Chains A and B, each alone.
Chain A
Amino acid sequence: MIIRKISHLLCNYENITRLFAGACLLLFIAGILLLPLPYSEKQLYPKTFDRNSSLDPYDRGGPPFTQVTIVSQYPENSPTAGLVTSYLTPFSLFLSQVTLHLGTTIVSHPGGIIDEILYNTRGLDTVVEATILFIAFAIASYIYRKG
């Protein structure tokens, strides 16, 4: 009987979102109650923040096509990690000279200053992230054109 009631509630798909929101809420409350969590000091890709750099928080230092030191999990697998693979476009360079907030404009500079691309740290992630974006654009454009 109770199963019938539950499935009757769930067959209205608008309740699904509410159910999921409730589940997230419960989990996050549990998460807050379980604080504090231990923090490992030995982190991958650590960096220091230089608040005076216009590329903060993406600045790890180093001119283009040189290598900076990066702590990675398997250094033997990634000999090029930390190699500065990108440079600023003239417009980005101009922005970086006049403001301190270029690091916050990640949306308007896709790929230019993303840590993974810039310092060649996590290659496969970069590919998958871009793929997710392309898939999302494909769906949106298909629905827009046919809708």
Chain B
Amino acid sequence: MIDLIGGVPLFVLEFGDELVYFTPYTITLFLLALTFTVLVLISRPEKQIDIAFGGDAYRAKEISISEMRFRRFMAIACGLATMGAMVTGDIFNFTLFTAMVGITNVGIVAAVKSPHVQDAAYQYGLVALAATVPLFAGAAVYAAVTGSLSMIELMKGTVPAVPLIAKGMLMLGVIGEGMAPFYAAKAEMFRAPGAPYVIMCSLSSLLIFLRVVEIVMLG
């Protein structure tokens, strides 16, 4: 009996032991990530203009083409990683995609040539680096306790129950990879020019959070 949290899987894609499955819930998240990735792909980046308060003076920030190109590449990679994390049916695979989202988020902001933004990105990078410990430890405890990594098996309830601490580790790892407040370096990041690319950080963290909530409710 499959526990209907995200809905019945409509379509299962088999990559050996790792099943990629599409339930109504994951399809919705997947389509959101896909739509935004296409938007990033085709949209032109903003030009940031600072206006001096109380006067007419303003100044436009010059952004090089190569920087924008690199950030677009990172944003698309982030979108692909998010899509992967949305539909994967394997705990370890999910943690890998989450780690990839974390590192691409660093890439999106680290390319900006502003010391302040780069400092914030460095701090965020440290958090993302440290977050891999609880993230992968959580997956390891999942594997040790249940003897399986497949979410389908967790759904069916054929494996032992997952201890709370494993869920906590997974959650803390995902939070560290890019969620408020630990990417609150975000507030500084958003000074970085380049609208559609920076928003990818927010969107990916939101989607990953929605997915991890489903995962911790499975076992």
Binding site for B on A (CB under 8 A): 10-11, 13-14, 16-17, 19-21, 23-24, 27-28, 30-31, 34, 37-44, 72-74, 77-78, 81, 121-125, 128-129, 131-132, 135-136, 138-139, 142-143, 146
**Secondary structure at chain B's binding surface: helix, strand, loop or mixed?**
helix
Given contacts A139-B74, A139-B103, contact A124 B124 (CB under 8 A): no
Binding site for A on B (CB under 8 A): 14-20, 66-67, 70, 73-74, 77, 84, 88, 90, 92-93, 96-97, 99-100, 103-104, 106-107, 110-111, 113, 119-120, 123-124, 126-127, 130-131, 133-134, 141, 143-150, 153, 159-160, 163-165, 168-169, 172, 176, 181-182, 184-185, 187-188
Q: Give the distance to chain A from B163, nearest Cβ to Cβ, in Å.
A: 6
- Bound CA–CA A128/B18 (angstroms): 12
Given contacts A10-B184, A37-B163, contact A135 B77 (CB under 8 A): yes
Asked whether, in the complex, the Cβ of A20 is within 8 Å of the Cβ of B17, the reply is no
A sample of 30 cross-chain residue pairs with beta-carbon separation below 8 angstroms, ordered by A number, consists of A13-B185, A17-B123, A24-B172, A27-B134, A31-B165, A34-B165, A37-B144, A37-B165, A40-B146, A40-B147, A44-B147, A44-B148, A72-B17, A73-B150, A73-B153, A74-B17, A77-B14, A81-B16, A123-B18, A124-B15, A124-B16, A124-B18, A125-B92, A128-B84, A128-B97, A132-B99, A135-B74, A136-B103, A142-B107, A146-B111
Q: Which of B14, B107, B163, B182 contacts A138 (CB 8 A)?
A: B107
Given contacts A20-B176, A122-B18, contact A13 B188 (CB under 8 A): yes
- Bound CA–CA A31/B66 (angstroms): 46
Q: Which of B113, B124, B131 contacts A146 (CB 8 A)?
A: B113
Q: Give the distance to chain B from A15, nearest Cβ to Cβ, in Å.
A: 9
Chain B residues in 8 Å Cβ range of A14: 123
Chain B residues in 8 Å Cβ range of A34: 163-165
Chain A residues in 8 Å Cβ range of B187: 11, 13
**Secondary structure at chain A's binding surface: helix, strand, loop or mixed?**
helix
Chain A residues in 8 Å Cβ range of B147: 40-44
Q: Which of B90, B100, B146, B176 contacts A132 (CB 8 A)?
A: B100
Residue of B nearest to A46 (CB): B147
Q: Which of A16, A77, A78, A131 contacts B100 (CB 8 A)?
A: A131
Q: Give the distance to chain B from A120, nearest Cβ to Cβ, in Å.
A: 8
Asked whether, in the complex, the Cβ of B14 is within 8 Å of the Cβ of A74, the reply is yes
Residue of A nearest to B107 (CB): A139
- Bound CA–CA A32/B145 (angstroms): 15
Q: Which of A30, A125, A135 contacts B18 (CB 8 A)?
A: A125
